[in-house]
Structure 1
Amino acid sequence: SLEEGRLNVKKPFPRQKTEEELIDILSKITVPTLLLGGMRDPISLPANLLRSCGAVKNSKLILYEDAGHGLDTVHTDEIVTDIVEFCRARHLL
């Protein structure tokens, strides 16, 4: 059903019961990964993003100081610039 397929933002990896299991899953990601977040985000907490970035190989985390969860509506130009720079640095563009 649609409800079963809906993402629970508080637990986006529901099959992983422990922190160790989550880190194990994240450590299997091998593609260049850019994580973007806001320091004032009550949903994707900066500490969780930092943990995820540490687990994902070839990843980078950018936190926007005055942003919440909708950071793309406030920092649009900065985000585009950061994504382009990330991709260029990895020869993806």
Structure 2
Amino acid sequence: MDPGNRRRLARSAALQALSDGTAARMLGSSGINDLGLIESAARQDTKLDRALAEVVKLEQASPGRVPSNALGYHLCKQLLLAERTPQRMAS
């Protein structure tokens, strides 16, 4: 799959997880303010590409850990981790 389509699908999955409440449930009431961080990061190509690379690494290390219907959840998780600890994905 070409990078443009891969990015489009990843962004769609992350934004869907934000809109359907998956990300909010992940964060709980104490982290609800972080939804904006995730959405902002999902709209930035570089951050989205890095988050997707992290999800791919996770799946390669432990096949089946990232089910296709949970891609948005895992992308949101990686985007949030990157926003909270920017040096984590600075390379």
With structure 1 as the length reference, what TM-score do the two structures score? 0.25
The structure with more helix, counted as a fraction of residues: 2
**Which one has more relative contact order, counting CA pairs under 8 Å at least 6 apart?**
2
With structure 2 as the length reference, what TM-score do the two structures score? 0.26
The structure with more strand, counted as a fraction of residues: 1
